[in-house]
Amino acid sequence: MRIRVTTRADLFEQRKQQHIERGYQIEDERPIPVNGLRSFIAVRKVSDSDGIGDLVAHALKGQQLLGE
């Protein structure tokens, strides 16, 4: 699974660390802010045993943690 994460420049390192803690590898960092935003691609290998329901539950759990 590959996702592009775009965030405010001041939160870039924090967001990157959150994705690393969740098992993602970071690729294609955009080091120069454009309109105050920076981005990176987070990559995680999804095993065949992971179902779509597990992925959705994981994503929702991550959203709840970020919203706190």
Report pLDDT for 13: 95
For the chain, domain boundaries: 2-67
Report pLDDT for 57: 75
pLDDT in tens, the chain (68 residues): 899 999 999 999 999 999 999 999 999 999 899 999 999 999 988 765 556 777 777 777 765 555 44
Could you give the CA distance from residue 28 to residue 62 in angstroms, rounded to a whole number? 22
Contact 19, 26 (CB under 8 A): yes
Helix (H, G, I), strand (E, B) or coil at 67: helix
Report pLDDT for 51: 66
Report pLDDT for 68: 44
pTM of the complete model: 0.66
